[in-house]
Structure 1
Amino acid sequence: MLLEQLADRSVSLVMTSPPFALQRQKEYGNLDQDSYLDWIMKFAEVVKRKLRDDGSFVIDLGGAYQKGIPSRSLYNFRLLIRFVDELGFHLAEDFYWFNPSKLPSPIEWVNKRKMRAKDSVNTIWWLSKTAWPKADVSKVLTPYSDRMKKLLADPAAFYKPKLRPSGHDIGAAFSKDNGGAIPSNLLNVPNTESNGQYTAGCRLAGTTMHPARFPAKIPAFFIDMLTDPGDVVVDIFAGSNTTGWVAEQGARRWLSFELDKNYVAASVFRFLPEELPDTKRLELYQRLRDGESGIDLSKLSSSPTLFDVAIAG
């Protein structure tokens, strides 16, 4: 495990989306639910040692049904409890990623028998090594609603301060422009990307795209909130390397680990400038596919970058 080679207490954030514990085998690899918990725990144990004392471990987990019956599995909740009870992690906060564009699934219970609503929410556990991880919600404020913009423009005309039934005193503090609203722990992010440098590059190379990519807004939210420029961000199940690309845009140092050489090689398309000729794109893809590592892209891009992707054993 290459994660073992990192120095203890050197990582600010591990942001990852591992293969889920699904009943039907996927091409990117996944284990049955009984084996899954022990498998993930081995990684989480190492993650805890590598995190700084103010570091965070954020893990995205999709839901699943029990085999052959329309009852939900509790594997993602059992995993959370084991993280806390056995490894000593703190649950800083539970997040829920709502993907409104997700197709109806599972087919048997939703489409065929029409017994269940479609599964469109993933659980995202924000875990920390101590009770006081580094975090700044002001970095991930959301746009104000039209109603709030009217209030900010003319508080006296739009709203009269009063005590709400809950006991909150809605007064002058709520008419202050803070640059945006505090986000909720429900992340409404559609996963609809069908065009982009990564997908275009995969088509150019005639290679298979990773089938379980999460949208850049998910890792961006946590990277912005939990780290600063120069901090180290790690993804231990990188896939198409969305996390690494987002970390690069935010001037974080990053490492991404992925078993499949083809996924590692194809992820280079995320980092290449649009004006780069197709012949050069293919050359870089082929060099990575053939096992070359540490490819320096700084001369190809306006912003220096080191393509620091490792093939994890």
Structure 2
Amino acid sequence: MKALPSESINLVITSPPYALHFKKEYGNVSKAEYVDWFLEFAKEIKRILTNDGSFVLNIGGSFNKGEPTRSLYHYKLLIELVETIGFKLAQELFWYNPAKMPVPAEWVTVRRIRVKDSVENVFWLSKTTSPKANNRNVLRPYSADMLRLNKKGLNKTSRPSGHNINESFTKVDAGGSIPSNVIDETFEENTIDSMMRFGNNSANDIYTKKCKENGIKIHPARFPAALPEFFIKLLTEESDTVLDPFAGSNTTGAVAERLNRQWISVDLDSNYLEASKFRFDKTIIGT
């Protein structure tokens, strides 16, 4: 990133190695070191972002070692990103992944004193209070209830909360409903490429199959396509530039390519980069 010009990137979206107790083969630092380690990247991210650019950070939580209590390392990082680096917190979102494993096993499946984690934090940060964004680009199909209300009509009323509901509630000419801040697998129903409709644990997608066929190491923590697709559509326009500094298997680059964005992806492991080429093989995906 130090080689990139200042204010040259419209969106940085990434999922860096989390601060876990056990070491992953792709590398991860301890919770005690994590904040200081990541802030060096954050300084460069802020420098290279355009003034209306955004930084989207997917980061998972964890339990404290040896006890059934949660670590605050990712919240400490968020505070430092805002108070020390100078980012604005545009919004907190959550990635819902029902396929997550029930860990730590000691607390979840053995002693049965905690429940399974199924969400991860996604922090949307920006350089200014007015980052480029358009939620019309990520509208969801109207629900059957909304379509029914539109057809039937709704009398003007007031909820116990004091929220007034009038005839405008039944309008469906906006093109779709505004999505919530929870991103789940249903967003992938309308994904741009059927070959990308898999979460990070799929064993049947083209990337995984081709890695196995060619004896190439599969990245163990792959980005689901729904995450970069959602934010690239929400926060950028065609020809904008997207950067993933912890690219892994390069799902971000593949999605950006299909959405006609410029992209830069970086990873320290050349094996992962080599395997990511399968995501761009036109003879495989037919694009």
Q: Is the 8 A contact 1:55 1:134 kept in 2?
A: yes
| 1:60 counterpart residue number | 58
| 1:81 counterpart residue number | 79
Residue 254 of structure 1 pairs with residue 263 of structure 2? yes
Q: Is the 8 A contact 1:193 1:215 kept in 2?
A: no
Offset at residue 171 of structure 1 (A): 1.6
Q: Secondary structure at the match of 2:278?
A: helix
Q: Render the CA deviation track for 1:149-174: whole Å, top value 9, x for unaligned.
A: 1122x143xx2221222232212211
| 1:282 counterpart residue number | none
| 2:194 counterpart residue number | none
Offset at residue 265 of structure 1 (A): 0.2
Q: Is the 8 A contact 1:102 1:191 kept in 2?
A: no
TM-score by length of 1: 0.84
Q: Distance in 2 between matches of 1:167 and 1:79?
A: 37
Residue 196 of structure 1 pairs with residue 192 of structure 2? no
Aligned counterpart in structure 2 of residue 163 of structure 1, from 150, 153, 158? 158
TM-score by length of 2: 0.92
Q: Is the 8 A contact 2:59 2:74 kept in 1?
A: yes
| 2:32 counterpart residue number | 34
Q: Secondary structure at the match of 1:5?
A: coil
Give the aligned residue type for 1:161: K
Q: Distance in 2 between matches of 1:170 and 1:88?
A: 39
Residue 242 of structure 1 pairs with residue 238 of structure 2? no
Q: Is the 8 A contact 2:203 2:209 kept in 1?
A: no
Q: Distance in 2 between matches of 1:26 and 1:111?
A: 22
Q: Is the 8 A contact 1:142 1:183 kept in 2?
A: yes
Give the aligned residue type for 2:247: A
| 1:47 counterpart residue number | 45
| 1:103 counterpart residue number | 101
| 1:175 counterpart residue number | 170
Q: Render the CA deviation track for 1:127-161: whole Å, top value 9, x for unaligned.
A: 00001000001111112111111122x143xx222
Q: Secondary structure at the match of 1:53?
A: strand
Give the aligned residue type for 1:5: A
Q: Render the CA deviation track for 1:29-70: whole Å, top value 9, x for unaligned.
A: 111101111111000010000000000000000111111111
Q: Is the 8 A contact 2:201 2:222 kept in 1?
A: no
Q: Secondary structure at the match of 1:135?
A: coil
Q: Is the 8 A contact 1:101 1:191 kept in 2?
A: no
Q: Render the CA deviation track for 1:188-229: whole Å, top value 9, x for unaligned.
A: 236453222211210111122101012100111101000000
Q: Distance in 2 between matches of 1:58 and 1:184?
A: 16
Q: 1:204 to 1:76 in 2, by over 3 A?
A: same
Residue 226 of structure 1 pairs with residue 221 of structure 2? no
Q: Distance in 1 between matches of 2:2 and 2:201?
A: 35
Q: Radius of gyration: which is bigger?
A: 1
Give the aligned residue type for 1:221: F
| 1:72 counterpart residue number | 70
| 2:135 counterpart residue number | 137
Equivalent pairs counted in the alignment come to 273
Q: Distance in 1 between matches of 2:223 and 2:280?
A: 17
Aligned counterpart in structure 2 of residue 184 of structure 1, from 180, 183, 196? 180
Unaligned 5+ runs, structure 2 = 186-198
RMSD, aligned α-carbons? 1.4
Give the aligned residue type for 2:212: R
Give the aligned residue type for 2:137: K
Q: 1:11 to 1:275 in 2, by over 3 A?
A: closer
Give the aligned residue type for 1:124: V
| 1:214 counterpart residue number | 223
Residue 267 of structure 1 pairs with residue 276 of structure 2? yes
| 2:9 counterpart residue number | 11
| 2:191 counterpart residue number | none
